[in-house]
């Protein structure tokens, strides 16, 4: 049947278009399989990771170098985060990870600062030096109480 062939071809095109849409979103938006496989993992421990969420940017000098892959609490009630860092970015062992905010009401991200050490962090290593999130409330109350003293 000629018409059935046509149906098959059109359905084929339909499925292809659908799958292309899916993979476009997966690669461009979800970055599934993209950065995940070409990066390495670092962990860091913060006293306060306030506002960070999975998928948040990891930036160095304002350039995105990776993203947050997990965030959890450890036994000492500290926040442990895991980050996926792009393979072509090398961080020294004394690099500093800090939780910062984009703008005043913007979202939280992890800011990395390069250290001076020649040794480079490998996958699975932990970043020793961390700066917790700056809590504006704490800052303000601190300022007020200092003023009174």
Partner 1 sequence: MSTVNKQPAMFQMLGGLGRWCLQSIEKFGDAAVLSAISLAHLFKRPWQGKHFMLQMYALGVGSLIIMAITGAFTGMVLALQGYYTLAKFGSESLLGSGVALSILRELGPVLGALMFVGRAGSSITAEIGIMRVTEQLDALQMMAINPHARVILPRIIATTLALPLLVSLFDVIGLAASYVVGVELLGVNAGAFTGEMVAKVIPMDLYAGWLKALVFGFLVGVICTYMGYRAEPTTEGVAQATTQAVVVSSVSILILDYVLSSIFL
- Please provide the distance, in angstroms rounded to a whole number, between the alpha carbons at the two ends of the chain: 93
- Alpha-carbon distance 38 to 25, whole Å? 18
Q: Which is nearer to partner 1, 21 or 135 (CB)?
A: 21
Residues 6+ apart with CB under 8 A from 114: 60, 91, 92, 95
Shortest CB 110 distance to partner 1, Å: 13
Q: Among 7, 120, 122, 136, which residue interacts with partner 1 (rule: CB under 8 A)?
A: 7
Shortest CB 43 distance to partner 1, Å: 19
The site for partner 1, by CB under 8 A, has a size of 26
Please report whether residue 64 would count as binding partner 1 according to CB under 8 A. Answer: yes
Which part of the chain contacts partner 1 (CB under 8 A), choosing from 13-21, 39-47, 86-94, 124-132?
Answer: 13-21
Residues 6+ apart with CB under 8 A from 44: 80, 81, 83, 97, 110, 126, 127, 130
Shortest CB 51 distance to partner 1, Å: 14
Cα 2 from chain centre: 53
For partner 1, the binding residues in 103-122 under the rule CB under 8 A are 105
For partner 1, the binding residues in 21-40 under the rule CB under 8 A are 21-22, 24-26, 28-32
Sheet with 126-127: list strands edge to edge.
126-127, 39-46, 79-86, 63-73, 57-60, 108-113, 96-101, 129-131
Give the footprint of partner 1 on this chain (CB under 8 A): 4, 7-8, 10-11, 14-15, 17-19, 21-22, 24-26, 28-32, 54-55, 57, 64, 67, 105
């Amino acid at each position: 049947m000629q018409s059935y062939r046509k149906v098959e071809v059109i359905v084929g095109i339909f499925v292809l278009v659908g799958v292309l849409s899916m993979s476009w979103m997966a690669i461009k938006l979800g970055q599934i399989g993209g950065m995940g496989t070409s990066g390495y993992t670092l962990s860091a421990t913060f006293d306060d990771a306030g506002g960070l969420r999975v998928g948040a940017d990891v930036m160095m000098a304002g350039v995105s170098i990776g993203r947050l892959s997990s965030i959890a609490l450890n036994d000492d009630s500290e926040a442990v985060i895991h980050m996926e860092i792009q393979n072509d970015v090398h961080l020294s062992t004394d690099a500093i990870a800090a939780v910062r905010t984009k703008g005043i009401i913007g979202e939280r991200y992890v800011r990395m600062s390069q250290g001076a050490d020649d040794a480079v962090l490998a996958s699975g290593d932990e970043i020793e030096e961390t700066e917790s999130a700056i809590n504006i409330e704490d800052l303000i109350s601190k300022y007020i109480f200092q003023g009174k003293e």
